[in-house]
Amino acid sequence: MTTTTSSVHAPAVRRLTAKGEATRARIVEAASALVFAHGVTRTGVEDVQREAGVSASQLYHYFGDKQTLMRAVIAHQTTAVLAAQQPELDALDTFEALERWRDRLVALQRSRHCVGGCPIGSIAAEIADDDPEARADLVAGFEQWEAPLRSGLTTMRERGLLADDADPDRLALALLAALQGGLLLTQTRRTTVPLETALDAVIELIRGYAA
């Protein structure tokens, strides 16, 4: 997984040295793993220190408070979630690509034994109501996810694979919602059937618009 800059991230307050960047990245990765496993509330900054092998003052140097660290986690997990869906996500412009993307998502859940759900969706369910800045980051993260879905469907319509009355905006949002609900039910039921069924339903709807 690359850790290139994401468009959802806390503002960089200072230029970091290469070593500083590495330490910061180690903190964010440790925090992300803990949040994925235990949630935001149950992830203490002391846990992150221990897991990342940094001191309290180091952690404070990079992230002044837990909220700032959690925003970095959202940025990191958004990048990771999108990376895990490549190469399909950025080229969802054929029915075959849609099916490969669907298969990749299902295989990923299977490899995780259906544990954890969506790294972004879980954070959203937990803190969207309480932290307006985190909520804004989550909105942006979901938008980064929805944009390539919309873009792929738009290309399919432009190429004549989908009829003119297919609405890429609506279908992309329906796909993202199906994915989120499918992931939550897959996490709860510990089987990928809900994710498969949810995605297949919207893909079937999209196929109904085949030109």
The residues that touch its own copies, with contacts defined as CB under 8 A, are: 37-39, 41-42, 115-117, 121-122, 124-126, 128-130, 135, 138-139, 142, 170-171, 173-174, 176-185, 187-190, 193-195, 197-198, 200-202, 204-205, 208
What tokens were used for 65? 């408070």
Name the residue nearer to its own copies (CB basis): 54 or 203.
Answer: 203
Rounded least distance, CB 172 to its own copies, Å: 9
Cis peptide before 132 (omega within 30 of 0): no
Amino acid identity of residue 111, one-letter, is S
Short-list 68, 59, 12, CA closest to 40 = 68
Name the residue nearer to its own copies (CB basis): 41 or 86.
Answer: 41
CA distance 24 to 189: 36
CA distance 71 to 22: 18
CA distance 205 to 165: 13
Rounded least distance, CB 209 to its own copies, Å: 10
What tokens were used for 50? 């221990």
Beta bridge partners of 162: 210
Concatenated DSSP letters of 88-146 = TGGG--SHHHHHHHHHHHHHHHHHTTT-S--HHHHHHHHHTTT-HHHHHHHHHHHHHHH
Rounded least distance, CB 195 to its own copies, Å: 8
Name the residue nearer to its own copies (CB basis): 90 or 126.
Answer: 126
Rounded least distance, CB 20 to its own copies, Å: 32
Other beta carbons less than 10 A from residue 175's beta carbon: 27
Whether the Cβ atoms of residue 94 and residue 161 lie closer than 8 Å to each other: yes
Rounded least distance, CB 71 to its own copies, Å: 15
Name the residue nearer to its own copies (CB basis): 101 or 142.
Answer: 142
Name the residue nearer to its own copies (CB basis): 83 or 205.
Answer: 205
Name the residue nearer to its own copies (CB basis): 54 or 166.
Answer: 166
Rounded least distance, CB 122 to its own copies, Å: 5
